Structure 1
Amino acid sequence: MAVDYSFKVRFGDTDAAGIVFFPNFYRWMDEATHELFTELGHPTSELLSIEKISTPLLDSKCEFKTPLFFEDEVIVKTEVIELHNRVFKLSHTFYRGETLIAAGYTLRAWTSFKEKPKALAIPEHIREKLTVHQKILSGSN
C-alpha cells in the first residue's frame, strides 16, 4: 500500500528554463520518506530526538520521464520494495494527475546515533508497519 505525499511545485524549484531542477526530486523523495514514517506513527523528528534513531541514505536513483513546471500539482507514491534486517528500500513514483513524471528509489539503514553511528536491526514493531506498505513485486518477466 503506497503512502501519498502531495505538493505544488514552487518557482524556486525550477531552473532558468522553467523546468524543475533535478536535485529537487531527491529532496522530494526524502520528504516522502518522512511522510511515510509519520503515517506509520513514528515521525522521524521523534525517532531522532527521543530514540536517537535515523535512516541515513545509502543509495538513490531517479529516472525522469517528463518535466515538471512551476505550480504543477504532484503526488509522490512511496512503497517499501525491500525490507532486510537493517536496511530498507523505498520506491518513489511521481505523478502529475495520471501522468508518470519520474520514478526512483532510496536505500536507507536503520541507524542509532546514541554514540557513534551504528546500523541496527529494524525493530519488529517498525518492520510490521513497513510490511503493510510493502509493494508486491512479481518475480516473473
Structure 2
Amino acid sequence: MRYMREELIRFRHCDPAGIVFYPRFLEIVNDTVEDWFDDMGFPFQHMKERFGAGVPTVNLNIRFQSPCRQADLLQLELVCNRIGDSSIDLSIGANRAGNPVFEAQVVLCFTTVGEQVKKRPIPAEIRQQIFQYTNTGSAVTA
C-alpha cells in the first residue's frame, strides 16, 4: 500500500518570487511522515510516553523537479522501501496535476529519548503497521 495525502500550497509557503521556498518542501515531507504515523495510530506526541522512543530523520535526499505556486494542490505519496532493525527507508513523491514536483528519500531511525540518544529496535506493533506500506498495492488515503 501507499500512504497518500494532499497539501494546498499557501501564501506562507512562497517566497517573494511567488514560488515555494525550497525549505517549505522539507516541512511538507516531515508533515507527511508525521501524518502517516498519526494515521497508523502512533502520533509523535505520544511516542515518548508510549514507547520511550523518538523517530528522528537521519538522512534526507530530495530532488526538485518543478516549482510550485500559491493555490497549487500537491498529491503526496509515501511508500516504505525497507524496514531494518531500527530504521526505515521511505520514498515520498509529490505531484501537481500529474506532473512531478519532488522526490524525497528519507531514512528515519527509532531512538531512545533523554540525555543519551541511542538507536533502538522498532516496536513490534509499529513494525507491523509499517510493513503494510512496503508493497505496491492499493492506496490508503488520509
Question: What letter matches 2:130 in structure 1?
Answer: L
Identify the residue that residue 31 of structure 1 maps to in structure 2: 31
1:83 correspondence with 2:83: yes
TM-aligned CA deviation for residue 5 of structure 1 = 2.2
TM-score normalised according to structure 1 size? 0.89
Aligned counterparts of 2:83 and 2:69: Cα–Cα separation in 1? 34
Aligned counterparts of 1:6 and 1:99: Cα–Cα separation in 2? 14
Alpha-carbon contact 2:89-2:106 (below 8 Å) kept: yes
The 5 A counterparts of 1:81-120 are 81-120=81-120
TM-aligned CA deviation for residue 24 of structure 1 = 1.0
Alpha-carbon contact 1:6-1:76 (below 8 Å) kept: yes
Instruction: Report the number of matched residues.
Output: 136
Alpha-carbon contact 2:51-2:123 (below 8 Å) kept: no
Distance 1:105 1:59, change over 3 A: same
Question: What letter matches 1:5 in structure 2?
Answer: R
The 5 A counterparts of 1:16-95 are 16-95=16-95
TM-aligned CA deviation for residue 51 of structure 1 = 3.0
Distance 1:79 1:54, change over 3 A: same
Aligned counterparts of 1:46 and 1:121: Cα–Cα separation in 2? 17
RMSD over aligned CA atoms reads 1.4
Distance 1:125 1:51, change over 3 A: closer
SS of the residue aligned with 1:68? coil
TM-aligned CA deviation for residue 52 of structure 1 = 3.1
**Structure 1 runs not aligned, ≥5 long:** 137-141
Alpha-carbon contact 1:80-1:89 (below 8 Å) kept: yes
TM-score normalised according to structure 2 size? 0.88
Question: What letter matches 1:119 in structure 2?
Answer: K
TM-aligned CA deviation for residue 66 of structure 1 = 0.9
Question: What letter matches 1:29 in structure 2?
Answer: V
TM-aligned CA deviation for residue 49 of structure 1 = 4.1
TM-aligned CA deviation for residue 44 of structure 1 = 1.3
Aligned counterparts of 1:50 and 1:135: Cα–Cα separation in 2? 27
TM-aligned CA deviation for residue 39 of structure 1 = 1.9
Q: Higher relative contact order at CA 8 Å, sep ≥6: structure 1 or structure 2?
A: 2
